[in-house]
Structure 1
């Protein structure tokens, strides 16, 4: 069950149906969605929650939180947005008429540092000049939490003192959300479905496709659950209510948003799922590049064609049971949430594209989606234990639709 047409299975034709029968490999917070053009941008997705029979269930209530950025039906379709981006030139951007001029771009103040110049060590790849704008190229008119606007927020109900498990899924097409709960700290217990040693923070960033599980002991009142769209002056909002009181305003800005932010190094796997380090059989660099003039995004200067997956790209060849390392080098001014199908991986090191110095990550934490900031180099390892043809791609819907993908190809 993978859903990548022309690669791992056929697409479901209009009016047709397909029944999936599969053995669930791992419990956790997951989700399902298509990989056809920008269909996901039209709301074709759903949570997939797999309960762990061995989980002690150390919580009283459970909330599923789905974050989304929405434009379809407001003033354009996602396909029209994509067409606008492709003819936008070096300043490619879609500004919705609904909120034009009302959502200022704040990318200059975004959390990560971006080098002044991105050099390319790979022949034939020209680094992109870095514009001032670094966040999503789409100004969405609406940011939603469980399908609702901040002016009419979804309300989660519980009792004071109860422990809540909150499963956060970013189903957005192009937005990174910074999540915080007013008056509370967040204890992170899982990422992408896999347990980590509990770590407590004030706020965390969730890239498109990522999932996080949080444990919180709830106070007494009505509290804003805020998901700020990074680089924009806009947000999604929900309310966790344990008592009577006024509903938080749509623009609620809890102090926790400026508090301690979850760092990748905070995520350390629990012993039962920790991935051991092995000698490598395959070590492949994947250069993330692009062209803002045509809004085309590439891996290793090659553009993936969803209709003809093997045309014009060089897959990553692997054999069953090999130990594989992929090194993502982001040479663009954009953030790329990279997702590997059919496997989970561990983050082994983080550095920059212009330095040989790396920060090792021996924690063995397992993920399937990882945000690669501009100018950074991130190495991931995985075991080739699931034979097939598997997509590796940016989870930004518009980047995938314009070619930022390649294939992990099992060889016989």
Structure 2
């Protein structure tokens, strides 16, 4: 199981292999062309649907700002082709690996037999170079999902694409027929991912180009001198919002950079469904459409009672469906990175060629003591550094150089809109806003609780769970088939982590009883905690942070579900 964690030697080896990628001609899948009439308007020749589909993983490039960047493609494109499926059908997918290295595809968020989940070393051996593998499984759900490689550096190099599954029976009263657009957000770099990882190992804030400055201190901006000295004594930085930023990444909407301006068309006054997918490797996005409210109707493919917001923040691996009703003008879809160093941009317009003003990037946020799991309401920061590594607060955590803090007072942060979103002046979605549209399928109370600590050492760029990397954790997390379990995730780091459990849809513990929101990926805020209840499905399942390099460095475990 430990063999698929990417160590330094493997990263450098992959860099050598991918360094020779030849630049093939780039095509764009029909659903992602710069001007879109909507998914329903796609000709049948540009749709991958039905019960038998063939996909090819190969080398190519993606054009960003007129320049080619090396990429791993699906059917020759970045992103790859959209799969349009129907709940209740059988699906047979033949995946041909045209690379000179092993590959795989994982069907993110789908409930399926574990042998078909697509994680090498966990659920199947992988797809050897120049060979193929056939996935076969029933489609038992509907909604917005995506698929991506789970091998080597391939996901970070563009090997991903959307999945849209129509419900078995239409619900016209609740889900009326309307124009739909997929908006898949991602990040891509001209720098090889192995080099990015090496730079972070050498200097964890290598890509943080928004530090506090002396001129800012003298001007009285942000933190005082005493506060800055206190952070420095703890060897922490309040500007460590993201470890991979716009200094090395470019941000794409449906494979297009901001200047290419992907545009989705609409008729004024008609409702439009936007299926947002965060397929980025290392980026949280803050999504808003200035001048246009969004009605959230699904989270991670699961229907929710409509909730109106102006903005939402989501992590890698998460999806949201929203309904908007635009008028006779153009609107900018602004997907600002959480650290506000960059932005993906797209447009909604009633006619081709129309654009709207692009909002300027907002000021970079700062972390607080709350993000360190410390309640400062009763005193100042003095002496706090002495309490940062109190192992008695988390006995199951293996203390060592890979753990630089334990949250002293982690709070449930399900009502938190996300880093930097508390003072934006308008309604931002929170997990507690989400209420399932239908009663949950399993209303049993959990039989037991499993607490997992998300641990790390920023200065050493080490990431783990319970103080152990994947290669160090020789025992899986055990469960029994059908068992009802509560997971509580405690974030002992100062970065947000989107945690994904393969093969399961779980219920967030947010106080909504039998209508708890259901998801497959949950973001745990810095210094905070999050809980979900889940019914165990048989098999071996990956359980990891969906920030690619955090997972690669070891923030991953295997959940092993055996017969009762």
Structure 1 segments, 4+ long, off by >6 Å, are none
Moved more, 18-27 or 328-337: 18-27
CA RMSD of aligned residues (A): 2.5
- Alignment length, in residue pairs? 366
Equivalent positions of 1:300-339 (< 5 A) are: 300-305=466-471, 312-339=473-500
Change (3 A) 1:9 1:245: closer
- 2:137 aligns to what SS in structure 1? coil
1:175 aligns with 2:283: yes
CA distance in structure 2 between the partners assigned to 1:43 and 1:184 by the alignment: 30
The question of whether the paired residues in 2 share the 8 Å contact of 1:226 and 1:253 is answered with no
1:396 aligns with 2:552: no
For 1:204, the equivalent position in structure 2 comes to 312
Q: Of the candidates 120, 128, 132, which is equivalent to residue 238 of structure 2? A: 132
- 1:29 aligns to what SS in structure 2? strand
1:187 aligns with 2:302: no
The question of whether the paired residues in 1 share the 8 Å contact of 2:297 and 2:303 is answered with yes
1:366 aligns with 2:479: no
Change (3 A) 1:161 1:132: same
The question of whether the paired residues in 2 share the 8 Å contact of 1:344 and 1:367 is answered with yes
Q: CA deviation at 1:245?
A: 7.2
For 1:409, the equivalent position in structure 2 comes to 560
Find the structure with the greater CA-based Rg.
2
Gaps of 5+ in 2: 1-115, 213-220, 223-229, 363-422
1:86 aligns with 2:218: no
Gaps of 5+ in 1: 96-100, 110-116, 118-127, 306-310, 350-359
- 1:151 aligns to what SS in structure 2? coil
For 1:287, the equivalent position in structure 2 comes to 453
Q: Of the candidates 530, 533, 537, which is equivalent to residue 378 of structure 1? A: 530
Q: CA deviation at 1:283?
A: 1.1
Deviations, residues 115-164 of structure 1 (Å, cap 9, x unaligned): xx9xxxxxxxxxx8642123220123311111111112101111101110
Q: Of the candidates 126, 136, 153, which is equivalent to residue 38 of structure 1? A: 153
Query: RCO higher in 1 or 2 (8 Å CA, sep ≥ 6)?
Result: 1
CA distance in structure 1 between the partners assigned to 2:520 and 2:160 by the alignment: 17
- 2:460 aligns to what SS in structure 1? coil
- 1:391 aligns to what SS in structure 2? strand
1:58 aligns with 2:210: no
CA distance in structure 1 between the partners assigned to 2:523 and 2:197 by the alignment: 22
1:145 aligns with 2:253: yes
Q: CA deviation at 1:253?
A: 6.7
CA distance in structure 1 between the partners assigned to 2:520 and 2:341 by the alignment: 29
CA distance in structure 2 between the partners assigned to 1:209 and 1:203 by the alignment: 18
Q: CA deviation at 1:35?
A: 1.7
The question of whether the paired residues in 2 share the 8 Å contact of 1:189 and 1:215 is answered with yes
Q: Of the candidates 137, 142, 150, which is equivalent to residue 22 of structure 1? A: 137
Deviations, residues 334-390 of structure 1 (Å, cap 9, x unaligned): 1100001010111115xxxxxxxxxx4534211000110101111111011x20011
For 1:8, the equivalent position in structure 2 comes to 123
- 1:400 aligns to what SS in structure 2? helix
CA distance in structure 2 between the partners assigned to 1:185 and 1:348 by the alignment: 27
CA distance in structure 1 between the partners assigned to 2:267 and 2:425 by the alignment: 27
Where is the helix percentage greater, Structure 1 or Structure 2? 2
TM-score (norm 1): 0.83
